[in-house]
Amino acid sequence: MFGPTKTYRRKKVKNLLNRIIVTGLLAVSVFLAAQPNRPLGDSKVWASVPLPGYPEGIAMKGNTVYVSGPAAFGIFTPPVVWAYDRRDGTLKEQYPVTIGNPFVPFRALSCIAFGPDGKLYAIEPFVGVIRMDLNPGNSQQVYSAFPPPPPTGALPNDLVFDQSGNLYVTDSFQGLIYKIPAGGGPPQVWFQDARLLGNPALPFGANGIRIDKTNTNLYVAVTVRNDFSGAIYRLPLVAAPNTGDLQEFHVYPPSAFGPPAPDGIAFGKSGKLYVALAVSNQISVLRPDGIQEAVYSGAAQMTGGTLPWANPANIAFHDQEGTILVTNHASLVPYDPALFAVFDVFVDDKGQPLP
């Protein structure tokens, strides 16, 4: 038998080397394409929010981002849920809230969340929890009517569902967390503690609320404590937690510029907790052990300039872009409708799936 010629062997080796080089180049190009093309903390204006403004809640479903407002005192016009195209921030629909308290002239809308039934649940502080079908007829029902506030006042603020369909609602003025059973009905006090109360001068206590991916712990932000610090607390998700179960997860000390004021919170798929700091105008990133890993600050880039972060309130993940979307509440600064917006922040993370 005759073996291959030297020329044939040289060609075979050359072809093999070419394939190795091409494979290596492809691997490098895929690696580079997978790298983030924005630095961590980079921020851009994602969408503007029309009047009455003061955007607070934010939630995403499919290709639509929903934003709620106004969350401000002294407003009489009907609150609204604005629906934006997730892909480009175009305003697609507006859903005015048609249910109000006939004994209270004020109107407001704070936070929103999608329930296990796919419907949107919104907190109207003077009514309770309203369920919205988001259909052409703008169908709405009262899911849970809250009792009249005591003389000290009440402020239902944020909400989250657990895996069983129970709904938990924070009350910022009373330092408590309500529990509403799956299917709706009157709210019951699930947990109350003086540590969830706010500072008498700034009485915003229990605020943002989320449940971890194991469905075993509930996290709640206290915006302003007695010493003007803020904190994230953790509670076991049990039928009846006691005061000894409440644990500090992270404390934000006050600064010379005032309280940091943690507001809305959201878990990333990484296990990190993202916290909107409403007064220091920052986004804090907490590791699963409660240690702060990063702090991001504005402003947000926009055509022709920048938009300052003004009292960031709540957070939703834009998984396709590796960003978070944040409502620019702009309630603690001089009135400027141009500040009513949603900005994004590149965090190279995805959102933890909500129940």
Say which range, 31-35, 65-69, 249-253, 309-313, has the weakest mean pLDDT: 31-35
* Average pLDDT of the residues of the chain: 91
Q: Tens digit of pLDDT for each residue in 96-128?
A: 999 999 998 999 999 999 999 999 999 999 999
Q: Up-side HSE of residue 106: CA atoms within 13 Å toward CB?
A: 12
Q: Are the CB atoms for 163 and 172 separated by under 8 Å? A: no
Percent of the chain with pLDDT over 90: 83
Q: Are the CB atoms for 54 and 125 separated by under 8 Å? A: no
Is the predicted pLDDT of residue 174 greater than 60, yes or no? Answer: yes
Which of 8-12, 15-19, 138-142, 151-155 ranks highest by mean pLDDT? 138-142
| CATH superfamily assigned to domain 38-346 | TolB, C-terminal domain (2.120.10.30)
CA-based nearest residue to 251, from 234, 235, 236: 234
Is the predicted pLDDT of residue 25 greater than 70, yes or no? Answer: no
Which of 21-25, 29-33, 287-291 ranks highest by mean pLDDT? 287-291
The pLDDT confidence band at residue 26, using thresholds 50, 70 and 90, is very low
The predicted pLDDT at position 73 comes to: 87
Structure tokens at 42: 């980079």
Domain boundaries, the chain: 38-346
**Which pairing describes strands 217-222 and 230-236: parallel, antiparallel, or unpaired?**
antiparallel
- What is the number of H-type helices and E-type strands within the chain? 1, 26
Is the predicted pLDDT of residue 150 greater than 80, yes or no? Answer: no
Give me the mean pLDDT over the 304-320 stretch. Answer: 98
Give me the mean pLDDT over the 43-68 stretch. Answer: 98
The pLDDT confidence band at residue 10, using thresholds 50, 70 and 90, is low
What type of residue is 157? N
The predicted pLDDT at position 66 comes to: 98
